[in-house]
Amino acid sequence: MMIESSPPVAAALAAHGPVVALESTLICHGIPRPANGELARRMEASVAAAGAVPATIAVQRGILCAGLSPRALAKLAAADSVAKCSTRDLPLVLARGGDGATTVAATIFVAARLGIQVMATGGLGGVHLGGAASLDMSADLDELARSPVAVICCGVKSILDQARTLERLETLSVPVVGFGCAELPGFYTAASGLAIPRLDTLAELAALIEAQRGLGMPGGVVITVPPPAEHAMARKEVDRLVADAQAASAAAGITGAAQTPFMLRHMAERSGGRTVQVNCALAEANAALAGRLAACLAERRRC
């Protein structure tokens, strides 16, 4: 296996204990410094407080690591030019011996190989605005169709075409549910206007995952929760920020993998840091829920 697990992660996996995978693109390309380092620590702490072991995934000098020491995590958050790695980028960064931050796609690819069933992030990647023509659709979606990992998130990032992303996930046979909500959350905001099935307990979430495994389906599930109410933004404000970021991105000729980081940065600046605040709060809450779900799944395995 080309993946190196940290001692705590290896021990938890060997004992079939609860482990939660965390991504590193959110840290390196989604949140500005120094808030990103603080968030990385808080997400790990939230997973641990729920009784699970955090496994932040990243490539370090050509080695694909699951679980970073506090020092390595701080170094990653402070680093300048860590490559954004989706699944297709992993072989190249390994071959070059470089450093890489994993997206949701690359993170669940690694998690699945290790038998980690749950991961947490802020917002899933998806079909970009205009994606029907440009074909810019996040590899997060296709990877979810083949990696059996439950991704806890606040829906699809606000900069994306949320309705078309849901359509694509349906085509890929990836279940999308709301935990305590019957509407796909809109990432920075609670509302999207898109209906999804609602589940209300951890046991129901676990049963969903177990049913998918029981049927021999290859993929994962998307478990969505609204952003914490005290931090959530109004939909109108988010729509305005997205439209501005979209226009700036088009004017600057930004395409491909650079688009998501560019737009997130633009909205952070235009909102005076409001979007970063929401993003950090929701990512931390998602990590806590992921920890609880992983603990619940491990408990049910023992019964």
Q: Does 249 bind ligand PSU (CB under 6 A)?
A: no
Identify the residue among 68, 104, 152, 190 touching ligand PSU (CB under 6 A).
104
The answer to whether 192 and 186 are in contact (CB under 8 A) is yes
- Under the binding rule (CB under 6 A), the answer on residue 226 touching ligand PSU is no
Write out the two tokens for 200: 């209300």
Taking CB under 5 A as the criterion, the residue among 89, 136, 143, 284 binding Mn ion is 136
Task: Write each residue from 78 to 117 as x if it is in contact with Mn ion (CB under 5 A), else as -, in one continuous string.
Answer: ----------------------------------------
Torsions phi, psi for 55 (to 5 deg): -125, 90
Which of 90, 95, 85, 70 has its CA nearest to residue 26? 85
Told to check if 260 binds ligand PSU by CB under 6 A, we report yes
Is residue 228 reached through a cis peptide bond, with omega within 30 degrees of 0 on the bond before it? no
Catalytic residue among 44, 84, 143, 157: 157
Question: Do 182 and 287 touch, CB atoms closer than 8 A?
Answer: no
* Least distance in angstroms from the C-beta of 302 to ligand PSU: 32
Place of tokens 């939230």: 46
Nearest-CB residue for ligand PSU: 122
Catalytic residue among 23, 44, 143, 284: 23
Query: Residue 121 binds which one of Mn ion, ligand PSU, none, with CB within 5 to 8 A depending on kind?
Result: ligand PSU
Binding of residue 138 to ligand PSU (CB under 6 A): yes
Which of 44, 99, 140, 143: binder of ligand PSU (CB under 6 A)?
Answer: 140
- The residue sitting closest to Mn ion, measured at its beta carbon, is 136
Site residues for ligand PSU, 8-37, by CB under 6 A, read 23, 25-26, 29-30
Decide if 175 contacts 212 (C-beta within 8 A).
Answer: yes
Tokens representing 127 are 């079909």
User: What residue 104 binds from Mn ion, ligand PSU, none (CB within 5 to 8 A, per partner kind)?
Assistant: ligand PSU
What is the total count of residues that contact ligand PSU (CB under 6 A)?
21
The dihedral region occupied by 67, where left means phi > 0, alpha psi between -120 and 50, and beta the remainder, is left
Q: Is 157 a catalytic residue?
A: yes
123 near ligand PSU, judged by CB under 6 A: yes
The tokens 């993946």 sit on which residue? 3
Burial readout 211-241 (b: 16 or more C-beta within 10 A, e: otherwise)? ebeeeeeebbbbbbbbbeeeebbebeebeeb
Which lies closer to ligand PSU via its Cβ, residue 141 or residue 196?
Answer: 141
Structure tokens belonging to residue 72: 């390595």
Which of the 8 DSSP states describes residue 27? I
Rounded to a whole number of angstroms, the minimum distance from the CB of residue 234 to Mn ion is 27
- Tell me the C-alpha distance between 303 and 299, whole Å: 7
Tokens of 95: 């071959």
- Whether 236 is a known active-site residue: answer no
What CA–CA distance (Å, rounded) separates 69 from 225? 29
Whether the CB-CB separation of 222 and 49 falls below 8 Å is answered with no
Q: What residues numbered 161-220 form the site for Mn ion, per CB under 5 A?
A: none
| Residue numbers at the binding site for Mn ion (CB under 5 A) | 136
Known catalytic residues are: 23, 157
| Residue numbers at the binding site for ligand PSU (CB under 6 A) | 23, 25-26, 29-30, 86, 103-105, 121-123, 125, 138-140, 257, 260, 264, 279, 283
